[in-house]
């Protein structure tokens, strides 16, 4: 994984991404957003899904339900390992809630955010990569960006953390996870 500064547009986007987090199998693009309580810090996040090597990558704006469903699938195969992974993400969110690392929206800040939150336990969770759509390394960095963005721009940031806490609640089933992840709109 590497963080790159982009100089050209990607896909059908009208703007040049601030940064690209590039993996062997996909990329996450960070663009300028314009919504929320701090529009000057809002990030518009897209990723390219390179599952089908023969076709052009598909650019997707991630929704909470995308990664929540992935976690539900992983949970069915190894709930103990998934709970440990999600608890790392919850800890990161709570850390960002106390001290949000994104105070400006530029390449240096995005690179610093990624560099200062390296996924050190990647090998511990690699077995989860066989299940669901996303690799744990990819989803970790995607969710780091989503967490910081939600804390910066959402008027009432709750959806991300509530979804994560519902996933690790052993008394909640997948319908409750999806209900939280979609804001009850499914």
pLDDT of 116 reads 94
In the chain, beta strands by DSSP E: 2-4, 19-22, 26-32, 43-49, 58-60
**Euclidean distance between CA atoms 31 and 109, whole angstroms:** 13
pLDDT of 8 reads 87
Better-predicted residue by pLDDT, 119 or 158: 119
Name the average pLDDT for the chain: 90
What is the tens place of the pLDDT at every residue in 141-177? 999 999 999 999 887 788 899 999 999 998 988 899 9
In sequence order, the 6+-apart residues with CB closer than 8 A to the CB of 12 are: 59
Taking CB atoms within 8 Å and a gap of at least 24, the contacts of 153-158 are 153/33, 153/35, 153/36, 153/37, 153/38, 153/39, 153/41, 153/42, 153/43, 154/36, 154/37, 155/36, 155/37
In sequence order, the 6+-apart residues with CB closer than 8 A to the CB of 122 are: 136, 137, 140
What is the average per-residue pLDDT within 69-87? 96
User: Looking at the predicted structure, is the pLDDT value of residue 54 above 60?
Assistant: no
pLDDT of 91 reads 96
User: Looking at the predicted structure, is the pLDDT value of residue 53 above 60?
Assistant: no
CB 95 within 8 A of CB 89: no
pLDDT of 60 reads 87
Q: How many residues comprise the chain?
A: 186
């Amino acid at each position: 994984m590497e963080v790159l500064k982009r100089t050209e547009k990607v896909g059908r986007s009208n703007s040049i991404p601030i940064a690209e987090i590039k993996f062997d199998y996909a990329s996450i693009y960070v663009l300028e957003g314009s919504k929320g309580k701090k529009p000057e810090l809002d990030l518009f996040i897209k990723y390219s899904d390179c599952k089908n090597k023969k076709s052009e990558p598909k650019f997707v704006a991630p929704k909470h339900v995308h990664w929540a469903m992935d976690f539900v699938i992983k949970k069915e195969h190894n709930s103990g390992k998934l709970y440990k992974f999600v608890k790392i993400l919850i800890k990161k969110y709570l850390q960002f809630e106390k001290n949000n690392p994104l105070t400006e929206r530029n390449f240096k800040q995005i690179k610093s955010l990624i560099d200062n939150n390296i996924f050190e336990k990647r090998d511990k969770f690699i077995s989860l990569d066989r299940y669901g759509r996303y690799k744990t390394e990819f989803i970790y960095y995607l969710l780091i960006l989503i967490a910081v963005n939600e804390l910066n721009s959402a008027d009432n940031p709750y959806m991300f953390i509530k979804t994560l806490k519902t996933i690790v609640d052993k008394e909640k089933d997948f319908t409750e996870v999806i209900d939280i992840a979609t804001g009850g709109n499914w």
